[in-house]
Structure 1
């Protein structure tokens, strides 16, 4: 770590020695209709807040180029018959042109003076059917905000209604389990896109495989989602990759304490604006090994992502995108008997994981009065977890403890047709078919050294969805979105019909209110369906999907273009939740129980009620901030019995994030950005331990297996980020320091049996993750 720090320090001092003034750079962009994605020709794009007015007009294909000095800008896009759009926080560096996609909404009515206000781009999601419980998440914020760590999931934990931990980026949305979150990439459901996924918690991981170098802005939804989202119970990450530059070649290299990152993009042909974009990352975490827990020693991971774009092909566009990762981790058993405090010290483990997803999509525009757009995509996704655990005997010999082989490959076919029946009515109807192939082999040792098969199954199944969304502009002030999703899961032979509804009303120029409803469902991890009975036959193939009703109310006030205040009360009723027949555990509380082998019943229920509050100040005059708080109650029951706390019922979560950007020297040439975030989490519910029974059985036994009737103290966690940017002609240098858990909070990881001093220990670890990095772009 010392050598890495010295090398980065040398590079930092080296770039400071240059005083040459940075040259201009360019903003490349395209303007499209928000509903149909048709390019808008001759739209006006103006740079706001400058002494000298810069502007441009989009060409016949909607493209425009602006040449500007480096710095941070706000742009305004306007066109007759469309609502004005303000694009904020547009960062322009000397090495790279900035790529923008501006989506404009048609105005079906003549807006009166009370309603004339431009649409702030940061307040509007990319999915136009989403009216509430959603927000746009930018990769620039993931890089700038403390605690973001270039990770969409960790950044989302700063938003209202979301809680998370330091040791994993699995997020609980409004009291729901992380495994109920849907990850969408370019419209395709993909496996958990995190390194070391599903090991500590289903639905989470350690670090994201989504590089901020290639990711576009992301929609994050927390409830009452539109009908185009199926197989999602708590929320959605709707991800997409940006398009590479079609004018110039751009490259960047970043090295830091947690690894090496390289990216490249540029034109594939100048005539049709084709482009490529690729990023590769490799890490051993070698520089920060001393700060990690022992079981993280020897961790290695790598990932790659790419996007190839071929526009203007017979009024259509073809894109080929892909994402892949590979991980290796493990731990060695402690052979010194004086240091074998816990059973975990005796374990030796090796884990190999991989994930990939790729798709080819075709976007076709049709001439005609309906302005139809056909989107068709064929994709595949795969994931593999291969884990072996052994344990030391008293003679220091290794014997098998458990094995996991979870291998899945999916083939996706997706097609949707968007039609504008009138200026007041837009519809999107689509079909999604997912062929699920699986190879599952899980075994656990009931008798020491003898593995007993829990799951052993190969085969395939199908998950199919038909949906339709309609958006009606009822007046200049009100919008009504309706939808329905029909889903069929062949494995359980279950059909679900899920209605969706959202309404929004503009009370005044700065105030908007609305409500939304949706019924949602999600399948469980596949291995639970194939857990074996005493005859070796799957006992849960007919398990129903867990379901939920979401009801959300929304109130937004924008006192100025730089501020947003939002209040969202919500209620969720979960039903058909799987419950274990013997131990009576609800799947709402299941985190990583790979070897659970019981008959499952759909007799569980859940209830989440709460209110989310947000005050956000967008970056203006160098200052920005975010305050969020959530008060909620998350309960579960079994067979309509007593309501009990779920393990995610923290009751309150609060975040305060403050940042300041300083410009040094000539405008835009050097800048420093400092950001701090503090998170207050309510006390985590935990189960009470039966100390006598645990000592007698040599394993942790809880007084009541299914009840979380004790609670930890509230926790205070701090994160810090600092970025230093230097622009030189055609080259940009960036030095960053990002620290998760800068205060060293010791996170609760469970209870352990102390083998040397017999008793029950509360096991905690202070996981501090620093990343000092240097990046050069050219």
Structure 2
């Protein structure tokens, strides 16, 4: 009766005074992921209270909501209620919120349990430890982020990314090649412009943050549905377009480029479309950016087309397509250029594409099946013409390096999810990928003059057209033993058609709520990953023939152990402590005494091309402690402090324990921001955000100057591999701007200035032998750099 009276009062409430915003979305049962009809959605902080009831599809819509940051409370009989704060309502775009409710452990006569929204709770309900949910608001809000989800991750505990030139993600001392990118449930290649074969990062992201919905970032002991990764998982999803109105957005930024978005309803079954295109601003202006005087050109197109509900279920098509190119011409290159040399002309082209078809059908009010079929393409071409006897009458150039790599994937994933009761959920499924790798790599570097023409020979390191299959079945479940104790467990399998190796990987995690404010969690996971494709298919000259001697290498193996403690420090404050240990085995190393290990790959733009006849006998470990203190956005202010103290070591075939290149030792981030209302109505705001990052420097292998001068190319002291450490990294970013909401039209404006590295701190990019100056030079990363942006939504 109390609930009935409450609903009647909400529905009969008065009209809001500021009638210029919309909050809408859907309410789901988190365990079954089925829509909840009849849930109550209340808009808080207004007088009198206002609310709506969800329809048969779990959908709700609240009209005439005041612009600014709003809170809603969602309740449903027999479920834990939840409060969602910081919903950004603007005049130019509807605010969309999807809410997941957890069924109460016992039968309730009325809703009495209230759970605040926690960003540390992953979207994936089976992710218990080392997981973090992130929103588009965070991607665009934090200073220094360049609207890049990869750089967003660098703010989280356990992540190290002290490289201004690339967005590689180093998780707990693992190589960035250990990261898994997923989009709509399927693995995808590196979604970055200027990406190279086998890598997972790049200088500029091809992922448009305006396309994303709330997604997950996981750093250890992943649930059973994730595989073929050692370091971390970025599990992304595209949001749907507006199902009620047409909306448009125009945007410009130094790094994100010029952008246009359009979205709106499609058909009469709740369908929608969303399309976004971007092109580099520096390419349009014909200027260099980000550590080089060469002009980078890049563009991307993203789409998500949802065909709505039907008898056969829900179908949607999603995709990303990107291209990029840059020409480094030696005559226009400075000696301190991050990416090029003055005695070379280098031409770089790359492409990236994913297209997928997703289908979901609800079998009943507790179960559904979701299937995704996709195809992806990743290409990169790299050509270097080197000049000899430069600036003399005898000047000449020859083709020095050539790489033409194409990776194709045809993937299918399917999962069945069912809620057995309010205590138990089961999920089972599989992922299958057929990966094609067509590559030609030729290089004269470090080669002798075998044919006597006076130049180093152009050796073919790889010239293949191969394919392999990766099959990953899994089953996982969640069981709530008591109201305070939850167990997640599962089993993941992985099979490679190349090595014909099959492995089983147990995963388990326990979450225990000591009190409503104090929780502990424990996780374990066994994980395997395929060796990087550029390593697997390298050629070795054996008895005058080229042989792929790495082709049958087994997976690298890793055991993850994690213990965490979460505490609710105050109403909008949270603290988290996590301790972890990761034991790695079966890494690829050389058969003779050597410092090399595949665990050190990923520290540069490409892979070593002379590591052949490798064996699975390498080991390593990562261990550390992470601390997070976060103030969620409340009363116009937010703050985030993350710190990681860790150790990352490996052993090659020489049996010597060494630092990995990713063993920074520590990373500390401090972020804060404040919004200020403008005018009496508070419709408009100006904001300021700041970020300070410091970390230990990366380890590197010193060059042998005398040997390099004699050889004419860089010769590293491999017996001293990763024995020297760069100076500590430091960077301070400051961002400020204004948000304006029209009082009469559905329009909003946002303008910002992001001052990156305001102290112009000199952080080391690389210490390398310079064959032009014939000395070992230090090249610094990007100094002070201002990013300016503007967005218009209507």
Residue 13 of structure 2 corresponds to: none
Count matched residues. 754
1:553 aligns with 2:563: yes
**Rounded Cα–Cα distance in structure 2 between residues aligned with 1:686 and 1:340:** 19
Please point out which of 567, 581, 597 is paired with 1:571.
581
- The one-character-per-residue Cα deviations of 1:544-596 (angstroms, maximum 9, x if unpaired) are 11111000001000123311100000000011111234554111111222533
Q: CA separation of 1:442/1:306 partners in 2, compared to 1, >3 Å: closer, same or farther?
A: same
Are the equivalent residues in 1 in contact too, given 2:623–2:647 (CA < 8 A)? yes
Query: Is the aligned partner of 1:460 residue 2:460?
Result: no
- How far residue 35 of structure 1 moved from its aligned partner, in angstroms, is 2.2
1:381-396, aligned counterparts within 5 Å? Answer: 381-394=376-389, 395-396=394-395
**Alpha carbons of structure 1 residues 290 and 362: separation in structure 2 relative to 1, 3 Å:** closer
Per-residue CA deviation, residues 221-247 of structure 1 (Å, 9 max, x unaligned), is 000000000111111000000011100
Query: Does the 8 Å contact 1:194/1:209 carry over to 2?
Result: yes
Distance of 1:254 and 1:308 partners within structure 2: 22
d(CA) in 1 for partners of 2:298 and 2:340? 27
In the TM superposition, what is the alpha-carbon distance from 1:711 to its structure 2 partner?
1.4
Partner Cα separation in structure 2 for residue 586 and residue 207 of structure 1: 28
* Residues in 2 aligned to 1:56 and 1:343: alpha-carbon distance in whole angstroms: 59
Corresponding residue of 2:416: 417
Q: Distance in 1 between matches of 2:338 and 2:431?
A: 51
User: Within 5 Å, which residues of 2 pair with 1:519-530?
Assistant: 519-530=526-537
State yes or no: 1:588 paired with 2:599. yes
Given candidates 258, 261, 266, the residue that maps to 2:259 is 261
| Worse-matched range after superposition: 631-640 or 371-380 | 631-640
Paired position in structure 1 for 2:74? 77
Deviation at 1:717, TM superposition (A): 0.8
- The 5 A counterparts of 1:316-335 are 316-334=313-331
Partner of 2:151, secondary structure, is helix
Structure 1 vs Structure 2 CA RMSD: 2.5
- The 1-side partners of 2:761 and 2:283 are apart by 23
Contact 1:276 1:307 in 2 (8 A): yes
* 1:162-561 map, 5 Å: 162-164=159-161, 165-198=163-196, 202-258=199-255, 259-269=257-267, 271-286=268-283, 292=289, 295=292, 297-314=294-311, 316-334=313-331, 344-367=341-364, 371-394=366-389, 395-445=394-444, 446=447, 447=449, 448=455, 450-534=457-541, 535-561=545-571
The residue correspondences of 1:66-105 to structure 2 (distance < 5 A) are: 66-67=62-63, 68-105=65-102
Deviation at 1:294, TM superposition (A): 6.5
Tell me how far apart the structure 1 counterparts of residues 339 and 504 of structure 2 sit (CA, whole Å).
Answer: 49
CA deviation vs aligned residue, 1:471-490 (integer Å, no higher than 9, x gap): 00100001001101010011
Distance 1:22 1:209, change over 3 A: farther
- Bigger drift between 132-141 and 532-541 goes to 532-541
1:620 and 1:667 map into 2 onto residues whose CA distance is 19
TM superposition shift of 1:75: 1.2
Q: Structure 1 residues 273, 296: CA separation in 2 closer, same or farther (over 3 Å shift)?
A: farther
Cα distance, 1:338–1:267 mapped onto 2, change above 3 Å = closer
Q: In the alignment, is residue 744 of structure 1 matched against residue 755 of structure 2?
A: no
| Compared CA separation, residues 287 and 407, structure 1 to 2 (3 A) | closer
Cα separation, partners in 2 of 1:505 and 1:341, compared to 1, 3 Å: closer
Q: How does 1:135-150 map to 2 (within 5 A)?
A: 135-150=132-147
Distance 1:671 1:294, change over 3 A: closer
* 340-349 or 509-518, which deviates more: 340-349
Specify which of 672, 684, 687 is matched with residue 701 of structure 2: 687
Kept in 1, the 8 Å contact 2:28–2:58? The answer is yes
Give the secondary structure class of the aligned counterpart of 1:627: strand
What is the CA distance between 1:386 and its match in structure 2?
1.1
Residues 168-191 of structure 1, C-alpha deviations (whole Å, 9 max, x = no match): 100110000111000000001000
Conserved? CA contact 1:166–1:740, under 8 Å: no
| Larger RCO (CA within 8 A; separation ≥ 6) | 1
Q: Select which of 36, 61, 69 maps to 2:57.
A: 61
| Distance across 2 between alignment mates of 1:275 and 1:714 | 49
SS in 2 for 1:118: strand
Displacement, 1:738?
2.3
Distance 1:765 1:290 in 2: 18
Partner of 1:701, secondary structure, is: coil
Which stretch of the first structure deviates more once superposed, 568-577 or 590-599?
590-599
For 2:658 and 2:396, how far apart are their aligned partners in 1?
44
**Alpha-carbon deviation of 1:614?**
0.2
The alpha-carbon deviation at position 341 of structure 1 amounts to: 14
* Residues 144, 723 of structure 1: 8 Å contact kept: no
* Offset at residue 683 of structure 1 (A): 2.6
Unaligned runs of 5+ in 2: 1-16, 450-454
Cα displacement (A) at 1:737: 1.6
- The residue aligned with 2:33 is 37
- Deviation, structure 1 residue 109: 2.8
1:674 counterpart SS class: strand
Q: TM-score, normalised by structure 1?
A: 0.93
SS at match of 2:651: strand
Q: Is the 8 A contact 1:614 1:627 kept in 2?
A: yes
For 1:302 and 1:578, locate their aligned partners in 2 and report how far apart those are by CA, in whole Å.
36
**Matches of 2:752 and 2:249 in 1, distance apart?**
15
Deviations 1:683-731 (A, max 9, x none): 3212223222222222222223562111122121112222311000211
SS at match of 1:334: helix
CA distance 1:48–1:341, change in 2 (3 Å)? closer
| Distance (Å, rounded) in 1 between the aligned partners of 2:106 and 2:347 | 62
